[in-house]
Chain A
């Protein structure tokens, strides 16, 4: 078990471009979460999946953000027409839905996005 992985680790893009991030959760974890974190703040919830179903999406998330988890395994987060305010660390986490660790979310290393 190699933990949650995210790709890329760093992304620099120009304003207006689209970017896509990937998250591979811990195998057998059927819940997957996306968070965004800016300097000096805690992670802010964006969306989460149980298997392939997207169960909740933050009201703060604009229509430029979309996430998928087509086969219930890896997930992608796409940001269209990026803005400088999108610059942040994007964190992925996964968890089980049963067992003694059902509530525990394990975080990946994050993708740091810089929008110029």
Chain B
């Protein structure tokens, strides 16, 4: 158990809808990262927050947004969903603001868009 908690584990929704994925980092970790894992794209970095502030941005679509709250949990919002957004979304956490490569991953939220 990594100590990173993600909810929901599974989510099925329709095209055009909006969903929110939630992540609670390990106790004491200030950084939260979001990754998308799909069969065709592999693991893609989306965005990083550190202590409530956006720290780094990856291949995140404009339809997607994220935030980190004062209690350090984070939410990833996905809107105007398309079939291609079906994927496994991982949250990871670490202590530092600079990504040293040592991340602790949650078990992921599997999103299916029908």
Q: A and B bound?
A: no
State the B residues within 8 Å of A (CB).
none
